[in-house]
Structure 1
């Protein structure tokens, strides 16, 4: 029993260490990128609007860092984190993630399209679903060499093994992922491996969050049998229903 408690405590510590380290690294990278953009705009353009946008990105990142510290402090126990799972409408969080990503990659031609989906769909989750959306989108953009980056987001409700899920598909035209790597990209530590072939950044963290929601994640080829045409990241999260 004591060994089980020790293992659970260790896993909690590892989860929050990964969450904090990964998100802080993203925040610092975003601030650095925004500062580089600011220098470019100052030297080559009189477009005041772009400079204001860059300033807003930096401010948003500082606020995000403060919120991250606050959230981790509040959720210092995994059981507490699990108890915070409740029915949430994800559409505003998805919109927030898309807006943030578009500002983060101002220098890229990013076209994200959310296909129409059924009104009032809710999932069982919490505020960390934002981390899931952002990490999937960042991955799709960073590992994409096309002049125009296209990401299609499809959302629908399905039943699997008698459980109602909301199914999210993030379909990109990036480098794709070879079959032999499709399973291991969600394992902790794989983000440290060479990224050639679209190795995912922070996908182990995404999987951990989804497992706490009793959700699932997998990746398929955008075009079946040809991984070089891009990826389709499929996420299943239990739907918040009266009988589920």
Structure 2
């Protein structure tokens, strides 16, 4: 029971992980965008609050300085010293924006703004109704207190981290809830496949055994054709049965490595599929060399069988299957329907099929990829719609 659960978990892992990663990537991007926007809004609100606080204080300074300018205006020229204050610096400009006198550290004046940042200083612009000493614009300058900015960034950092953690925990819970129907469906499908595999064993073995025992020499020609069709159908089901058996049982068995003569194995498997290929009038083109690899023969047979089965299944009537074997590489090409370019990265996913018009569970190529990964064999797929597909194995 534990092994069965482990296999269920493994079968779910890849598809569920991909879906989860896609969801989390999109969700994380949206969370980061939301947190960034909230951080900008918070920073701007703190900046406005700082300006609001500064406005009240600088208005008081402007009032004080205006009173001093009034005194200086009425006692001019007896008094000629411009009033100064340790709390702020100031400047006066006339109605044409010409400087009358200035103590400012930053001379970048925005006459159309009441309060603004000028470098590391805050400027407050006061318009005078009475032109003391010809002054229309009184500018008050104080150094900007950076404490508010440090506090704002501290709050943003703490809030962003806490919000990100909270959102991600919520996202994981949400993702699990969304993925649960898919997980349940895959578990149900896996159980169905296992039950189907178990039920196929006895009748399929009986059919294949009885076909082999029949004496075709005494059969009428029409009965031979019927038997051939039964043989083809049985071998098709047998191919599916072997895939399902490997998927549910044999993939966890211990690996039995041995020397495999690939040229001979490929010829044996072609002979096995000849009857099936003849139904579509397919022609095999062989260009093989004597190549030996060390691997589990049953697993390599599964790889070759699935490559040949797909080349037959998705080929056009009267098409060709080309097999090229060299030291370090194996190519299996067909002249079939081809695969959409956007689907190629997903053809090794379990339950993925080339097209929906063909039967099968879509487990063959997932088995192929799993076995090849186990032996560090690279597989590449080249395909063009209505021209064919080429599978290239390199090691």
Query: Would you say same fold, with TM above 0.5?
Result: yes
Normalising by structure 2, we get a TM-score of: 0.40
Question: Which structure 2 residues correspond to residues 212-227 of structure 1 after superposition, within 5 A?
Answer: 212-221=374-383, 226-227=384-385
Q: Distance in 2 between the 1:149 and 1:178 partners?
A: 19
* Aligned twin of 2:333: 171
Give the match for residue 242 of structure 1. Answer: none
Counterparts of residues 105-144 of structure 1 (less than 5 Å): 105-117=277-289, 119=290, 121-126=291-296, 127-144=298-315
**Contact 2:243–2:302 (CA<8 Å) still a contact in 1?**
no
Length, aligned pairs only: 195
* Alpha-carbon contact 1:85-1:213 (below 8 Å) kept: no
Matched residue SS, 2:386: strand
* C-alpha distance in structure 2 between counterparts of 1:178 and 1:74, whole Å: 32
Distance of 2:222 and 2:252 partners within structure 1: 47
| Residue 51 to residue 94, structure 1, CA distance change in 2 (3 Å) | same
**Residues 1:151 and 2:326 aligned together:** no
User: What displacement does 1:100 show?
Assistant: 1.6
* Separation (CA, whole Å) in 2 of partners of 1:71 and 1:188: 13
Distance between the aligned counterparts of 1:75 and 1:191, measured in 2? 22
CA RMSD of aligned residues (A): 4.4
Q: Distance in 1 between matches of 2:374 and 2:268?
A: 22
1:211 is matched with 373
More helix, by proportion: 2
Q: 1:147/1:195 Cα in 2 relative to 1: closer, same or farther (>3 Å)?
A: closer
Looking at structure 1, the residues matched to 368 and 389 of structure 2 have their Cα atoms a distance apart, in angstroms, of 16
Structure number with higher strand proportion: 1
Conserved 8 A contact 1:191-1:202? no
**Alpha carbons of 1:115 and 1:71: their partners in 2 closer, same or farther (altered >3 Å)?**
same
Q: Which runs of 5+ in 1 are unaligned?
A: 1-5, 39-44, 158-165, 239-244
In structure 1, the partner of 2:166 is none
Could you tell me which residue of structure 2 aligns to residue 229 of structure 1?
A: 387
Mapped partners of 1:231, 1:192: distance in 2: 11
Residue 356 of structure 2: aligned partner: 194
Instruction: Name the CA distance, whole Å, in 2 between partners of 1:148 and 1:109.
Output: 5
TM-score (ref. length: structure 1):
0.61
Q: Report the CA distance between 1:172 and its aligned residue.
A: 0.9
Question: Distance between the aligned counterparts of 2:306 and 2:243, measured in 1?
Answer: 15
Contact 1:85–1:125, Cα closer than 8 Å, also in 2: yes
Unmatched tracts of structure 2, length 5 or more: 14-189, 212-219
Cα distance change on mapping 1:54 and 1:12 into 2, 3 Å: same
SS across alignment from 1:233: strand
Cα deviation, residue 148, structure 1: 0.6
- Rg larger for: 2
Match of 1:90 in 2: 262
Shift of the alpha carbon at 1:194?
3.0
Larger relative contact order (C-alpha < 8 A, sep ≥ 6)?
1
Q: CA shift at 1:175, angstroms?
A: 0.9
Where does residue 344 of structure 2 map in the other structure?
A: 182
1:140-197 alpha-carbon deviations (Å, 9 max, x no partner): 22222x331201101112xxxxxxxx2111111111112211111012232397358x
Deviation at 1:85, TM superposition (A): 2.4
Q: Deviations over 1:68-97 (max 9, x none)?
A: 89989995735x22xx12331122221121
Cα distance in 1 between the residues matched to 2:277 and 2:341: 28
Q: Is the Cα–Cα contact under 8 Å of residues 176 and 230 in structure 1 kept in the other structure?
A: yes
